[in-house]
């Protein structure tokens, strides 16, 4: 009996570190992610599916490096950047991280506003109440209970794979668009590609991946399980993302850019019929509320870690003034910008483009760190893997640069 128990313990040991990769990768399927994938389907039908295949490869590479860095060094990404790079470069990375994550917070509150408008509640009422409520839940230490409810609400989006099948898409065209590249330098298409990159390979995910591995006590000995978790999570998340594109393309493909959340909800009609709008609103609300608290929280942890300030939600606000102040500022800015008059779906997409432009900065730091033998030892990037990672990071950087130049010089 004792021998049997030991055998089961050895077999189940890898499961102790399973989870961070799945959670981190699926964080991309938040309000901005849903809006971006749905807009890709409505505007370009299936033409972005091959891009999503390439983005999946890049996500696997980046998340694996982030997880490996956390397991081998026992430190988060911001701490590693601070220790391994000159102060100015480290400060630049933190500023980029803050800008990217504040953009995410804006998109999450925009998602809350869009979801509540679908349920008949004005965003002018919903967003301020949500901001105050989420702030209080986190600062006074009761957010973990609400988090479970928000996470449960996001399960709505698991209906998209079913919707992709019941929507009767042109499977021949789906297969062709997935397997064959579609290259276009049209500004709108490139903008969408960068938005897809920004919402799929967002800096928040890499930070969470490394930090979660460290927090769970993952070490170099656990690398096989940690690597499997990072890869599985990335692939699973992007399968859902591609199903959102396919389902939306089958429902309203070719109708042009997405202009409202109600349009995005149409993709769920083959599954739930007339309840599609309500169900979509519930899922969007859960995903938005979950990320609207977690993203600024992770930013506050990262910045406080970088400057050596007290960082804990379990401490009284006056004992962690910098930490709570950063969190509060992000909530206020995110909610305020989300209330600016305009198209909420357009705001969501623009925030993902911002993420796509900033992402190459953090990805470059990750690539350099994972390739340093004095830091990683025997777990440094292998030559073939380092070349693949370099191609991924350079490609993301080039696309971001092209879109930036087009925006500055009128396309």
Query: Do the domain assignments include residue 113?
Result: yes
Separation between Cα atoms, residue 273 and residue 267, nearest integer Å: 10
The three state secondary structure string of 273-329 is: HHHHHHHHHHHHHHHHHHHHHHHHHHHHHHHHHHHCCCCCCCCCHHHCHHHHHHHHH
Separation between Cα atoms, residue 42 and residue 366, nearest integer Å: 34
Q: Strand, helix or coil at 245?
A: helix
What pLDDT, on a 0 to 100 scale, did the predictor assign at position 25?
56
What pLDDT, on a 0 to 100 scale, did the predictor assign at position 27?
60
What pLDDT, on a 0 to 100 scale, did the predictor assign at position 21?
57
Separation between Cα atoms, residue 245 and residue 387, nearest integer Å: 30
Check if the beta carbon of residue 198 is closer than 8 Å to that of residue 352. yes
Separation between Cα atoms, residue 391 and residue 162, nearest integer Å: 34
How many domains does the chain divide into? Answer: 1
What pLDDT, on a 0 to 100 scale, did the predictor assign at position 14?
44
State which residues form the domain around 25. Answer: 18-408
Burial of residue 318 (CB within 10 Å: 0-12, 13-18, 19+) is exposed
What pLDDT, on a 0 to 100 scale, did the predictor assign at position 98?
85
CATH of residue 257's domain is 1.20.1740.10
Query: Do the domain assignments include residue 4?
Result: no
What pLDDT, on a 0 to 100 scale, did the predictor assign at position 37?
92
Query: Do the domain assignments include residue 139?
Result: yes
Binned average pLDDT, 10 residues per bin, the chain of 411 residues: 45 46 62 89 93 92 91 87 88 86 89 91 93 87 67 76 90 93 83 89 82 78 86 86 92 85 86 85 85 81 71 57 85 92 82 86 92 91 93 89 78 55
Query: Do the domain assignments include residue 6?
Result: no
Query: Do the domain assignments include residue 395?
Result: yes
What pLDDT, on a 0 to 100 scale, did the predictor assign at position 298?
77
Other CB atoms closer than 10 Å to residue 236's CB: what's the count? 14
Q: In this structure, what token pair is assigned to residue 63?
A: 């998340």
For 315-353, the pLDDT digits (tens) are 555 656 778 888 899 999 999 999 988 788 888 888 888
- Helix, strand, coil percentages (3-state) for the chain, rounded to 5, are 85, 0, 15
Query: Do the domain assignments include residue 10?
Result: no
Question: Model pTM?
Answer: 0.86
Burial of residue 364 (CB within 10 Å: 0-12, 13-18, 19+) is middle
Query: Do the domain assignments include residue 398?
Result: yes
Half-sphere exposure of 86 (CA within 13 A, CB side): 2
What pLDDT, on a 0 to 100 scale, did the predictor assign at position 82?
87
What pLDDT, on a 0 to 100 scale, did the predictor assign at position 276?
87
Query: Do the domain assignments include residue 3?
Result: no
What DSSP state is assigned to residue 186?
A: -
Residues 136, 142, 148: CA angle, nearest 5 degrees: 115
What pLDDT, on a 0 to 100 scale, did the predictor assign at position 181?
85
């Amino acid at each position: 009996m004792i021998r049997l128990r030991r055998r089961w313990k050895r077999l189940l040991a890898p499961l102790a570190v399973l989870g961070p990769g799945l959670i981190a990768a699926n964080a991309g399927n938040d309000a901005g992610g849903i809006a971006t994938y749905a807009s890709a389907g409505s505007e370009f039908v299936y033409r972005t599916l091959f891009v999503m295949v390439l983005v999946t490869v890049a996500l696997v590479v980046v998340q694996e490096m982030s997880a490996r860095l956390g397991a081998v060094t026992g430190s988060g990404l911001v701490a590693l950047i601070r220790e391994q790079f000159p102060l100015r470069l480290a400060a630049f990375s933190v500023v980029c991280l803050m800008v990217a994550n504040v953009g995410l917070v804006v998109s999450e509150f925009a998602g809350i506003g869009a979801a509540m408008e679908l349920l008949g509640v004005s965003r002018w009422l919903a967003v301020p109440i949500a901001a105050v409520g989420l702030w209080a839940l986190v600062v006074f230490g009761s957010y973990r209970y609400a988090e479970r409810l928000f996470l449960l609400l996001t399960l709505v989006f698991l209906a998209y794979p079913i919707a992709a099948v019941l929507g009767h898409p042109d499977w021949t065209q789906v297969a062709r668009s997935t397997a064959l590249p579609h290259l276009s330098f049209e500004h709108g298409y490139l903008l969408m590609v960068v938005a897809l990159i920004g919402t799929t390979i967002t800096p928040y995910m890499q930070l969470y991946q490394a930090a979660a591995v460290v927090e769970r006590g993952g070490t170099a000995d656990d690398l096989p399980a940690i690597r499997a978790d990072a890869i599985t999570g990335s692939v699973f998340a992007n399968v859902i993302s591609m199903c959102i594109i396919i389902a939306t393309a089958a429902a309203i493909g070719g109708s042009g850019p997405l202009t409202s959340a109600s349009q995005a909800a149409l993709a769920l009609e083959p599954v739930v019929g007339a309840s599609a709008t309500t169900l979509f609103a519930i899922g969007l609300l859960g995903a938005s509320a979950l990320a609207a608290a977690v993203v600024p929280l992770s930013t506050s942890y990262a910045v406080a870690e970088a400057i050596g300030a007290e960082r804990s939600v379990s401490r009284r606000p006056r004992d962690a003034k910098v930490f709570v102040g950063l969190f509060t500022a992000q909530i206020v800015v995110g909610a305020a910008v989300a209330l600016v008059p305009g198209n909420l779906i357009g705001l969501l997409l623009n925030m993902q483009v911002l993420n796509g432009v900033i992402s190459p900065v953090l990805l470059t730091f990750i690539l350099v760190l994972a390739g340093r033998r004095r830091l990683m030892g025997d777990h440094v990037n292998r030559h073939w893997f380092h070349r693949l990672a370099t191609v991924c990071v350079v490609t993301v950087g080039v696309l971001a640069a092209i879109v930036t130049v087009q925006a500055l010089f009128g396309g």
